[in-house]
Amino acid sequence: MYDRHATITTTIGELTLVASDDVLIGIYYPHHWVGIERAARGIEVDAAADPVLSEAAAQLDAYLAGERTEFTLKTAAEGDPFQQRVWAILNEIPFGETRTYGEIAERFGDRSLARMVGRAVGSNPLSIIVPCHRVVGTSGTLTGYAGGLERKQRLLELEDAPVVTAGRLF
């Protein structure tokens, strides 16, 4: 069980921020594929009154306004060793760039791990901060996203990713 959570309103809809002590643990969309039960999120608080959640909200707002390209939040994501390795690779994808599931699988030395990579990407508890939206299908097409494909497209458009300007999203 985590300490606390808050729901904030953003330009891409509501997000639930979850924190424990001085660390951001999760960012979830409504109907997120892989989330944590409401009871495990801890008490509901006002994000503005909580230092960790207010800073997360401020950085997310700045990113969504096109004023920030990186996040400097203290985070911790719970996952198995493979998931942790995939999420570390996601953090290496620069703002405005994309990678395919296969390219990430190649980092493990086996392109056939693309489906496992996809499951790990889909289990990312820190959406946007750990940029899972920057992972696309083999031909640059949009594939699943916990927040929905429309949000994924909006995030990639915000970053002016070449996959968007090439018109290859769908």
pLDDT of residue 37: 59
pLDDT of residue 170: 45
The CA radius of gyration of the chain, in Å to the nearest whole number, is 16
pLDDT in tens, the chain (170 residues): 568 999 999 999 999 999 999 999 999 988 755 656 555 666 778 999 999 999 999 999 999 999 999 999 999 999 999 999 999 999 999 999 999 999 999 999 998 999 999 999 999 999 999 999 999 998 788 888 888 899 999 999 999 888 765 555 44
The domain spans of the chain are: 4-64, 81-165
pLDDT of residue 162: 81
- Residue 152's contacts (CB-CB under 8 Å, 6 or more residues apart) are 133, 142, 145
In whole angstroms, give the CA distance from residue 80 to residue 77: 10
pLDDT of residue 163: 75
Beta pairing partners, 18 = 5, 26
pLDDT of residue 82: 97
Pull the structure tokens for residue 140: 């640059």
pLDDT of residue 130: 97
What amino acid positions are annotated as catalytic residues?
A: 132
Q: Which CATH architecture has domain 81-165?
A: Orthogonal Bundle (1.10)
pLDDT of residue 38: 58
